[in-house]
């Protein structure tokens, strides 16, 4: 049996590592102080904010299609992850789930898409629902018109928010508009720009990483406004993500392990925040922390461990409940089809 190429699957995993690191980085002061903390804080924020953008670029490059069965399976998967997350919080950090908060979290756990408990998942489902129309748009318009549309979207939702503090949609790029724009860039690359970049792109990547890091640690301060480049809709982050995407796209290798792990990325989106918080609480309670550069390496190791736990948890869940997901999705699809036929009749 032929093994699927693993280059972009490896990038998915690296993107997940970046996302976990951004969430864990809020605890950096526990491990570092002074100039050491400033350096590592800029290092992490300078690059790790491109994780989500890389993931959506991959989705755009391959394309996603509306499939009711897959959507139902995704919802079942996210419900189980969300319930597991709530259980972990209840066991390790019960003070966060007192009274009505526990009930609210349980309701959100059973309705992860509608409740927007995980912003990325809710927006990604909307992207799947809209994907057919996006594809029709790409097929209808010419390459020239497509380029004009993308440039307009980039100007409105990336360049302007980068140059100025204010945004047309104040979500720092963590929303559906940004996701659709990045997805369309991925489709454009697939259709028209499937090429290699020169070594100069790698130099530009490093320079933008440095600029991002410096802007995060020394933001422009005007009145009560602090403006930096380390956000999802920054043009510097988008360019970095595109360069990294091209680097991995042009690699060629296969790995069953990488492909298996990459299938479980939604476990990372659902569980990483809570797992990081739980690990940090246990470490702080037992005073198992280290200051200085060594402390940063410990934090990087914790991020890697959390990522591994999430991915393996996703794999175990698939083994235990995969068949149940299929049965539920088949049942709901049959119900929907019967109702459609009844309406047509």
What is the predicted pLDDT for the residue at 226?
66
**Mean pLDDT taken over the chain:** 90
* 184 CB-near residues (< 8 Å, 6+ apart): 60, 134, 138, 149, 150, 153
- Of the pLDDT bands very low, low, confident and very high (cuts 50, 70, 90), residue 34 is confident
User: What average pLDDT does this structure show over 259-272?
Assistant: 93
- Of the pLDDT bands very low, low, confident and very high (cuts 50, 70, 90), residue 222 is low
What is the predicted pLDDT for the residue at 179?
97
Domain boundaries, the chain: 7-344
C-alpha distances in angstroms, 201 versus 188, 197, 210, 317? 19, 6, 14, 40
User: What average pLDDT does this structure show over 282-296?
Assistant: 68
Alpha helices in 264-292 (DSSP H): 265-285
What is the predicted pLDDT for the residue at 225?
64
Give the tens place of pLDDT for each residue, 45-78: 999 999 999 999 999 999 999 999 999 999 999 9
Give the tens place of pLDDT for each residue, 104-160: 999 999 999 999 999 999 999 999 999 999 999 999 999 999 999 999 999 999 999
- Per-residue tokens: 112: 């992860």
CB 138 within 8 A of CB 146: yes
Specify the higher pLDDT residue, 74 or 3: 74
- Of the pLDDT bands very low, low, confident and very high (cuts 50, 70, 90), residue 298 is confident
- Per-residue tokens: 282: 């246990």
pTM, full prediction: 0.92
| pLDDT > 70? residue 185 | yes
- Per-residue tokens: 344: 């047509």
CA angle 140, 144, 150 (to 5 degrees): 85
């Amino acid at each position: 049996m032929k093994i699927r190429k693993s280059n972009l699957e490896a990038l998915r995993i690296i993107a997940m590592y970046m996302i976990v690191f951004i969430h864990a980085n809020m605890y950096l002061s526990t491990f570092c102080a002074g100039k050491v903390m400033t350096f590592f804080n800029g290092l992490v924020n300078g690059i790790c904010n491109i994780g989500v953008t890389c993931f959506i670029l991959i989705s755009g490059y391959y394309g996603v299609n509306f499939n009711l069965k897959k959507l139902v399976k995704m919802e079942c998967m996210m419900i189980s992850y969300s319930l597991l997350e709530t259980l972990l919080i209840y066991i390790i950090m019960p003070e966060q789930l007192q009274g009505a908060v526990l009930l609210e979290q349980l309701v959100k756990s059973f309705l992860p898409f509608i409740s927007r408990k995980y912003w990325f998942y809710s927006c990604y489902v909307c992207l799947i629902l809209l994907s057919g129309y996006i594809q029709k748009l790409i097929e209808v318009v010419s390459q020239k018109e497509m380029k004009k549309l993308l440039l307009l979207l980039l100007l409105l939702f990336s360049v302007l928010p980068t140059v100025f503090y204010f945004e047309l949609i104040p979500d720092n790029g963590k929303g559906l508009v940004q996701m659709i724009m990045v997805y369309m860039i991925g489709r454009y690359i697939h259709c028209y720009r499937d090429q290699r970049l020169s070594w100069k792109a790698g130099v530009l990547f490093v320079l933008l990483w440095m600029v991002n890091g410096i802007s995060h640690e020394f933001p422009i301060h005007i009145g009560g406004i602090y403006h930096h480049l380390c956000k999802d809709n920054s043009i510097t982050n988008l360019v970095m993500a595109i360069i990294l995407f091209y680097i991995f796209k042009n690699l060629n290798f296969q790995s069953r392990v990488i492909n298996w792990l990459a299938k479980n990325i939604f476990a990372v989106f659902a569980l990483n925040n809570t797992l990081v918080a739980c690990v940090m609480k246990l470490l702080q309670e037992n005073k198992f922390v280290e200051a200085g550069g060594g402390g940063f390496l410990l934090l990087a190791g914790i991020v890697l461990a959390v990522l591994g736990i999430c991915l393996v948890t996703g794999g175990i869940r698939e083994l235990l409940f995969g068949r149940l997901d299929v049965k539920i999705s088949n049942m709901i699809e049959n119900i929907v089809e019967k109702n459609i036929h009844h309406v047509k009749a």
